[in-house]
Structure 1
Amino acid sequence: MPTPSTRSRPRPASVEAGPTLDLDRYVPALITFIANKLSNSATAFYQRQFGVNVTEWRIMSLLAIEPGIPASRICHVIGFDKGPVSRTLAGLEKRGLVSIRTDPNDGRTHSISLTAKGRSTHDKVIVAALDRERRLLSCLNKDEREVLIGLVRRLHENLDAVTGSTET
């Protein structure tokens, strides 16, 4: 069921009138709202079905793609700070889902990989994750899905326009 438009709700009288966002058109809010709702529902579902939360799943899915990567790479790709990634990795290691080894070429760097148990869990969760994606995108035809993917990739590549050090 679609959510009602924010424009259809009466606004309470304010002391001072000023600009407001149109939440039906403000792209950063729309992306954030979608991401928050997807993450919250994924955490609840993945935790209940597979014993992992969405942050753990994101890290495990990246480790399946890039086995042996360091934590810094995980932080860069996923966009998380080092602290939460380190805590999540410690929990995954304690549960036997990942292996963390010191890199023999650089003692300051660690190589992180899924264990057999972690890979098995990943292989179960990915089926549910891809089904969730399929259901989310089911309102779009194939061409629309391809356009959406292209647009979202371009936005991702343009993030430096608002996150880079050149912003004033």
Structure 2
Amino acid sequence: MATTVNTLKRPQELEKAIPFLMARAGSRMGNAFAKALKPFGLNLSEWRVCASLLYVPGQTLSELSLHASSDTSALSRIIDRLESQALVRREKSTTDGRSIRVVLTEKGQALALSIVPLAKRHESVLLTGFAPNEIKALRDMLLRLFENAEGLDDLP
């Protein structure tokens, strides 16, 4: 007789592991938002780039890589796709002639601004039942986890 996933007992250690819980929550949130982005013609990685540029315009690839959570080689391909859709453009930096900055076009900015209310609705659903002080604490802890994750780069 086949056992279904719902009847399997999960190890308690796994259910309590922060990376596991974050990955599960992140995956579920990402999948739901990716589905919601389809009518806008963007995938989740492209949205992260557009959202990042909306809030911090004119980023270099290395800055954008950090904010959009994408490595620079994948990011270059994402920028190429967004550029082909006339949503972003590359510009030479005014302070460093060797550096390229990425900016949203008017079309890209309009698209990103039209998606922000959807993103806020998704966040609102996710935070249902959380008190304001819990939301602040969650944000603070996630920021601290992100900062602490830099230490993982030094591990073998």
TM-score w.r.t. length of structure 2 = 0.87
The equivalent of 2:85 in structure 1 is 95
Structure 1 Cα separation of the partners of residues 110 and 9 of structure 2? 51
Structure 2 Cα separation of the partners of residues 65 and 145 of structure 1? 21
Task: Identify, as 1 or 2, the structure richer in helix.
Answer: 2
Structure 1 Cα separation of the partners of residues 48 and 138 of structure 2? 21
Structure 2 Cα separation of the partners of residues 21 and 74 of structure 1? 37
Find out whether 1:56 has 2:46 as its counterpart. Answer: yes
Where does structure 1 differ by over 4 angstroms across 4 or more consecutive aligned residues? none
Q: What are the within-5 Å matches in structure 2 for residues 1-168 of structure 1?
A: 9-10=8-9, 22-48=13-39, 50-161=40-151, 163-165=152-154, 167-168=155-156
Percentage of matched positions with identical amino acids: 26
3-state secondary structure, aligned to 1:96: coil
Letter of the aligned partner of 1:150 in structure 2?
Answer: D
Letter of the aligned partner of 1:76 in structure 2?
Answer: L
3-state secondary structure, aligned to 1:112: strand
Letter of the aligned partner of 1:62 in structure 2?
Answer: S
User: What is the number of equivalent residue pairs in this alignment?
Assistant: 152
TM-score w.r.t. length of structure 1 = 0.81
Q: Indicate how the Cα distance of structure 1 residues 160 and 105 shifts in structure 2: closer, same or farther if over 3 A, else same.
A: closer
3-state secondary structure, aligned to 1:52: coil
3-state secondary structure, aligned to 2:98: strand
Whether the 8 Å CA contact 2:90–2:100 is kept in 1: the answer is yes
Structure 2 Cα separation of the partners of residues 28 and 88 of structure 1? 26
Structure 1 Cα separation of the partners of residues 71 and 100 of structure 2? 17
Please list every run of 5 or more consecutive structure 1 residues that lacks an aligned counterpart in the other structure. Answer: 1-5, 12-19
Deviation track 1:35-57 (CA, whole Å, cap 9, x = no partner) reads: 11211221111112x11111111
Pairwise CA RMSD of aligned residues? 2.1
Letter of the aligned partner of 2:147 in structure 1?
Answer: E
Whether the 8 Å CA contact 1:42–1:53 is kept in 2: the answer is no
Letter of the aligned partner of 2:105 in structure 1?
Answer: T
Structure 2 Cα separation of the partners of residues 36 and 141 of structure 1? 24
Structure 2 Cα separation of the partners of residues 148 and 88 of structure 1? 30
Structure 1 Cα separation of the partners of residues 33 and 114 of structure 2? 14
Please list every run of 5 or more consecutive structure 2 residues that lacks an aligned counterpart in the other structure. Answer: 1-5
The equivalent of 1:3 in structure 2 is none
